[in-house]
Structure formats: structure tokens, C-alpha cells
Amino acid sequence: MVIKQHITYIKDLKKSIKDLDLLNSSQIDENSIKSNTNSFEIILFIPFKDIPKNKKVYEKLLCFSIEKHAYFKTKLIFNNIKNSDFILNKDEHDEAVYIKKLIIDEDEKIIKFDIENSKTKYINIEYENIDIDIEYNKSEKIYIHKRLRLRLKNRLKKFFKIY
């Protein structure tokens, strides 16, 4: 079920950020960014709670496993903007880009995406009036984030059970 929200007040934006858990290791889809003179569009991948049903194990190597984790896709469209400025220079070998925090400066009318572990990557959106469309579907899982996981505890349990 696709959920759509139209936000025209800062307090509603702050509530949506909290409800969606937008700042919990949300990953930016760098290829989704579209910007023109009066709108800015971005897709974020927001992680589901990290429980076994939201993980897929792809390979098991001795004491390690390679896992992918479930996210849901969230499209944000900022309308009626004055200006947008962003640098995300994606490199083939770069790590995924995660949001550390979202800064909303009501006096300056600026929304800033603070990027985790980077001083050179950023997204700044200057707006006239808050006019944001949010669209997401929590029933559609996307498995994207690969992680090498140490399973030493389980291996040791199996090893000592044998002897």
C-alpha cells in the first residue's frame, strides 16, 4: 500500500521525520536526485528493524556470513524551492551515503542533509514555503545493504557441542 503525504508545515515535517525514522541509517539513492528551478527530488532507503525476517543471508564462509538487509524506498519531493545545492560525487568504490541528521533552519528557510562520515558531501535546500510530498510503501522490501557478519559465537557453540 503506497502512502502519500503532503506537508506544508514544519511541525508536520518534523513529525514525519520521526515517524519514518528517517535518520536511522537512511541511505541516499544518489542516482535518484532530480533538481530543477523550483523542485528537488530524492529517494531514500530507510532500513526496517534489523530482525531475522529482514535479513537475507547469501553466503556463509567459515565464521562469516554475507547478508543483505531490508529497506523501504521513500521519495521526497521538495516543491517551491528557491535554490538547491548538493555534492555527492559518487565513486565506484565509495561507501553508501547515509544521512547523519537533517537540519531544519526555520529562520533561514533551509533544510540541510548532513552526510555521515563526510565533510565534502552535502545537500542544502532553500525554500520559500514548506511544500513537500512524501511517498513510500512499507510493504515492499528492498534488500540492498551488504554486510559481512562475524558468526564466531555460533561457530564456537557448534564446535564445543561436537567435543
Residues 19-43 pLDDT 10s? 888 877 789 988 899 999 899 999 9
Residues 54-98 pLDDT 10s? 888 877 777 777 888 899 999 999 999 999 999 887 665 567 888
Report in angstroms the alpha-carbon separations of 128 from 5, 12, 74, 81.
Answer: 19, 16, 23, 6
Report d(CA 70, CA 54) in Å as an integer.
Answer: 5
Residues 134-152 pLDDT 10s? 999 999 999 886 666 666 6
Report d(CA 42, CA 122) in Å as an integer.
Answer: 13
Of 18 and 61, the one with more pLDDT: 18
